[in-house]
Structures are given as C-alpha cells and as structure tokens.
Amino acid sequence: MATIGIRRLSNGLGAEITGVDLRQPVDDSTFAAVEKAWHDHLVLLFRGQDITPDQHIAFSRRLGELDQHGSNPRYRLDDYPEILQITNLKVGGKPSDTRNTGRNWHSDLSYTRHPAKGSLLNCRQKPDVGGDTMFTNMYMAYETLSERMKAILEDLWAVHDVSLVAGIGERDPEKTAEMKRLSPPVAHPVVRVHPDTGRKALFVSQRVRSFVGMTEAESRPILDFLCDHATSHEFVYRHQWQVHDLLMWDNRCTMHLALADFDQSQPRHMLRTTLLGEPIGRLYNEAQAA
C-alpha cells in the first residue's frame, strides 16, 4: 500500500491527496483509502497527473460504471466515448458547445433519471489566470437549516430541467433540441440520502424549475433561498486549476460552478469521465403533478 497524504483544502469540503500516481495501477488498499477520503471530503485533488485517456478511464472505472456521453457525442474524445471534452478549442472545425459548460450552480446530469454519481476532471490546458471551479457542500447546506425548514422540505420533489443549463440558448439549436428531447424534465427528492454514507443532503440547484405540486411563482422564493443558503461562503471551496490536476467530486452531495473569469481567447481544455448514478428520479408530467 502506498503511503498517502491528505491535506484539507477548505473548511467546507475538499482535500488534496498526495502519494498516489494515477499513471500506475492503484492497489486495493490504497484505493480503499482514497475512496474513504472521497466520502469524508467530497472533493479530492490529485496534482501532477499527466495521465493518458486509458489511465483516466481505468481509475474512474474503479469507482463505478461510466457514462458514454451519448447526449453529447460530438464532444467525446476520439475512440474514447467515456471521456467528454470540456473545451473552448474548436471541435471538428467548429466552436465547441462545451466551452461554457457549468456556468450555473449544478450537480452533473441532475436533469436525467440517473444523476451522476461522481465526475473526474483532468486539466490539460488552462488560461494564465482564472477559469476556476467552485464547489459547495450540500450536506452542510441541509444540516444547517432549521428543523422547521427541514420538515417542509422532507417530502418535496423538485423539477430539474435541462433547458435551465446556463448558456444553452447559445448552442447549436439542432443539438439543443435533441438534448431537450433526450432529457425531458424529471423530478427528484429535494432531500437526498447518500447511499454510501447515509447522510442527508440538499438536492437542488439553479437548474430546478419548481417543486412538484407548486407553481413556479410559489417555488421561486424557496428555491432562491435554498440556492443562496447552499452557496454560503462557509460551505464553499474555490479550486484554482493547474495543468495536470485531476479533481474528483461526489455529485450526490455537492454542487459546482465553472467560472468564466478568464480570457476566452486562451485555451481551457479539460477531459471528464462521469460515473453513472443510481436511478432516483421520475419523469415529470405537469398535467399529472397537480
């Protein structure tokens, strides 16, 4: 077993892992220690990971089944459907629709019936400054609510809608229409129990339209409060990327936000694997939800 180091990155969440080289196979004991650290800290950072796509996939697959990114086939890495390119470089000679991915607070694939379990993002190119990513601890967001608010939220379901992805209106209209066809609105519990830790977390984001059984007007003040509360400074970690960073996060108990705080003429090129999550949602039929 490798001797790993764990250094906390903020009070809210996040830890840097040292002593692990993902270019080499990770033995079972080391992997178990990494997985425990992931459950404890929610976001893990591995610096200096100049890994190949095969190595990226091999490590990711230890954590679970990988998404094939069928809703974004144009942005899959050639010959590697498990890897999604999040980039402002041209893809196929055209501007990339993933160049502005993640510009509002969200949990990956929450607008599907199988929200992502986790994501692993490897930085290949970055601007000289900026392009940071922010994360927030949704366990803390839930646990610091009043008991009365927890009781109100306990039985609520929220409607997650792909059309609320920030910047979706700037994408290719044909591809946007296909995304909406493949991902109709779905409802998920507002309070989610983590299957591994048993802890409760808020499961809302800026990609939620309303609560089931409530109008958008009724839902909006509560949603705004929950998102503002969940992104309080004391729950948040802001990651400043370095080339060859690999960052892994648990989508079941975090939200994140990719900042546009950089010169868009400079390259920002990331490779992401996505862990498929358990089915928790249901298709939302507005006519039947009243």
Return the active site residues.
106, 108, 256, 272
How far apart CA 3 and CA 217 sit, in angstroms, is: 53
Other beta carbons within 10 Å of 11: 13
Task: List, in sequence order, every residue forming a beta bridge with 125; answer none if it has no partner.
Answer: 269
Largest Cα–Cα distance in the chain? 56
Residue with tokens 């936000």: 257
Look at phi and psi of residue 243 and say left if phi exceeds 0, alpha if psi is from -120 to 50, else beta. beta
- The two beta strands, 186-189 and 157-160, are antiparallel
Tokens of 269: 């090129």
Report which of 270, 116, 239 is spatially closest to residue 188, judged by C-alpha positions. 116
How far apart CA 211 and CA 214 sit, in angstroms, is: 5
Other beta carbons within 10 Å of 155: 11
